[in-house]
Structure 1
C-alpha cells in the first residue's frame, strides 16, 4: 500500500514537471512569435505615417474635439432646460413638435464608440505620431526598433491581462456550474433545499476538519442530473457544487466518498494548477478568435459539438504554423495531468474516509445512471463535465467512432476511464481487507 502511494506521488510530480516545462516553453514560444509579428506590424504602421496616418490623425483630432464640445454643450443645455427644450416660445403645433424632437436629438448626441474603442482610436495614432517624431529626431532609432519596443509593450499588456482574467475567472466558472445545476439564487430561496444544503455543509465541515483545512462552501442545485463539482483556487474560497439528483441516487457512504473526492480536489488546488498550466493554450485560443470573442459567454453547444470552427483571419493564419504544435502539446500535457489528478483525488478521498469500496460503488452508480439518461438531460451535465467526478456518456458517431472516441477520451480527455478507476479502488479495498 505504501509503495502504491509512493508510485502515485512520483507519477504526479513527474507529470507536473513535464506539464510545467511544456507550459513554460509554450508560453515563451507564443510570446516570441507575437512580439515579432507585433514589431513588424508596428514598424510598417510607423513607416506609413507621412502619407496615411498624419491626415487621418488631423481629421481625428478635429472630429474628437468637435464631438467633445458637442457633448459638453448638450450636457449643460440639458441641465439648464431639463423639461421642454423649446420652452413654450412658440405655440405647440406640428412645427413645435418637430422642433422639440430636433432639439432633443441635438442635446443627446450619439456615442458610436465605447470608452475602450475611443481610447484606442485616439491613443494608437497619437503613439504612432510620437514615434514618428522620435525617429525623425533620433538618428539611431529605426522604425523596426521602435516597433519592437511597441510590440513588447503590447504583448506584455495583453499577456498580463490574460493572466489577470484567468485568475479572476473562478467566479465565472462558479456561476456556470451553479446555473447548470440550478442552484437557487438569494432572491429566490428554497427552504427545503436549504435544509438539505445545510446537512451537506455539516458533512463537508467534518471532512475538512479531518483534513485540517478551511471548509469550502457547499451549493445544492435542483437539477435531477447527478453532478458533483469543485470550483475555486483556494480552500477558503472554494465551492463544492452538488445536485439533488446526486444526493437522491447515492447512499450515505457513497455520498460521503464523493464529497471527500471533491474536497481532495480543493485540498490539492487542482483548479489553480490546471488553470496556470493551461495559460499557453488559453493564449493561443485568444489570439486565434480575438480577445473580444474570447470574452463572450459560451453558447450551450460547444464548437466540438456543433462542428463549427472560429474564423481565422490572414494575420492569424500566419501565426498558426508555429503555434499549433504548441497548442497541441500543451493540451496533451494538461489532459494527461488532469486524468492523473483524478487518481490522486481518489487516493486522497480514501485517506479521508478510509472507505475505497464506497467511492467505487458511487462511481459505478453515477456512471450507470448517466448511461441510462436521455440526451436532453445530459446537455446541462456536459457543460460541467470538466469539473464533475465522472464524464458524460459517449455519443456514438456514424463514421470513425472508435478513432474519435480514442482521441476525445484517451488523448485529450480530462477524466480517466471510470472502469479503470473502479478497478483501482477495488484493489485498494482488497488490500485493506487483508
Structure 2
C-alpha cells in the first residue's frame, strides 16, 4: 500500500494479497491445463502467450479504460477548477498528483485507472461536473484518489487478466488440441483445458467482484476521513445514482466496459449480490452515516 495520509486499511491489503495469490494459482493451473491439451512441446509458446497477455493488460490499462469511457487527459488551462481540487487533495493526502481526465459522457460518474501511481489517471465525466456542487465533487475525487494511493487500481487490473486469459487460452487449447490429432484421442485433453478455463474464469469473476465491492467501501471510508465530510460523499452518491437511473440505457452502456472502475456502476439496475461490482447504495450510505456520527462526537 502506498504511503499517504489516507487511513490504512489492513482488510483491503489482506484481501488484495489473498486475491492475487489465488488468481495467480488459478492462472498457473490454467496454463498447465492448456499445455496438457496442446502438448508439452508447445509449453514455451503457451507460457509466452500467457505472460504476454498479463503484461499487455498491465501496460495498457490506462489507455484502454480511457478509450472505453471516451475520456481525454486535460491540462490545468483546460480545467483549472478540477486541477485545483485535485492539487489540494493531493497536498492534503501527501501523495503525487495523478493525471487528470474528462470523459465526454452525460452519465455522472468518475473513475481512477493506471498501472502505477506515476501513470494513474483520475477522470470525471461531463455529467458529474454538471450534477455535483464543489463540495460533493471534492468528496468524489477524494474517493478516487484513495484508489490510487492504495494501489487497488493496479491490483484489479492485473487480477482481471486471469479471466481474460482464460477465454483466450481456451480457444488456443481447442485449436491446438484439434491440430494434434484428427481422431478422438485428443478430445479428453481439450475437454480438460476447456473445463480448467471455465473454472478459472468463474472463480476469478467472483473473486474480483468480491474484492471490488470491498475496495469501494474502503475508498468511501478513506475519502470521508481525508475530507472530514462524509455527508458530502453521501449526497454525491445519492445524486449520481439518481441521475444514472434516469439516464437512457444507451448512454449508460457507453461506459459499461469500465464499470468496475467507476464510483457507481455504469449500468443502473445491474447485477446484484455476488455478481455486483459495487456494494448496495444503502450499505455505503450507512457506513458514511456512522463515520459522520463518529466525527461529530465531542473529543476530550
**What TM-score do the two structures reach when normalised by structure 1?**
0.59
Q: Are residues 1:231 and 2:113 paired? A: yes
Displacement of 1:366 = 0.5
Displacement of 1:363 = 0.3
Tell me the distance in 2 between the aligned counterparts of 1:283 and 1:203: 38
Tell me the distance in 2 between the aligned counterparts of 1:214 and 1:13: 20
The alignment yields a C-alpha RMSD, in angstroms, of: 2.5
Q: Are residues 1:368 and 2:242 paired? A: yes
1:376-387 to 2 correspondences below 5 Å: 376-387=250-261
Among residues 147, 154, 178, which one is paired with 1:265 in the alignment? Answer: 147
**Equivalent pair of 2:102/2:124 in contact (CA under 8 Å):** yes
Classify 1:380/1:335 alpha carbon distance in 2 versus 1 (closer, same or farther; 3 Å).
same
Q: Secondary structure at the match of 2:111?
A: strand
**Equivalent pair of 2:209/2:277 in contact (CA under 8 Å):** yes
Displacement of 1:275 = 2.1
1:35-434 to 2 correspondences below 5 Å: 35-39=35-39, 148=40, 150-179=41-70, 181=71, 183=72, 195=77, 197-289=79-171, 317-395=191-269, 408-434=271-297
Classify 1:221/1:167 alpha carbon distance in 2 versus 1 (closer, same or farther; 3 Å).
closer
Classify 1:24/1:418 alpha carbon distance in 2 versus 1 (closer, same or farther; 3 Å).
same
Q: Secondary structure at the match of 2:101?
A: strand
Tell me the distance in 1 between the aligned counterparts of 2:228 and 2:15: 26
Displacement of 1:9 = 3.1
Tell me the distance in 1 between the aligned counterparts of 2:27 and 2:73: 40
**Equivalent pair of 1:339/1:414 in contact (CA under 8 Å):** yes
Classify 1:290/1:205 alpha carbon distance in 2 versus 1 (closer, same or farther; 3 Å).
farther
Displacement of 1:265 = 0.9
**Equivalent pair of 2:108/2:240 in contact (CA under 8 Å):** yes
Tell me the distance in 2 between the aligned counterparts of 1:223 and 1:275: 23
Displacement of 1:421 = 0.5
Classify 1:170/1:17 alpha carbon distance in 2 versus 1 (closer, same or farther; 3 Å).
closer
Tell me the distance in 2 between the aligned counterparts of 1:385 and 1:224: 15
Tell me the distance in 2 between the aligned counterparts of 1:248 and 1:203: 16
Structure 1: runs of 5+ lacking an equivalent: 1-7, 40-147, 186-192, 292-313, 396-404
**Equivalent pair of 2:16/2:155 in contact (CA under 8 Å):** no
Q: Secondary structure at the match of 1:226?
A: coil
Number of aligned positions between the proteins = 276
Tell me the distance in 2 between the aligned counterparts of 1:250 and 1:381: 19
Displacement of 1:318 = 5.0
**Equivalent pair of 1:207/1:260 in contact (CA under 8 Å):** yes
Larger Rg: 1
Q: Secondary structure at the match of 2:263?
A: coil
Tell me the distance in 1 between the aligned counterparts of 2:199 and 2:103: 40
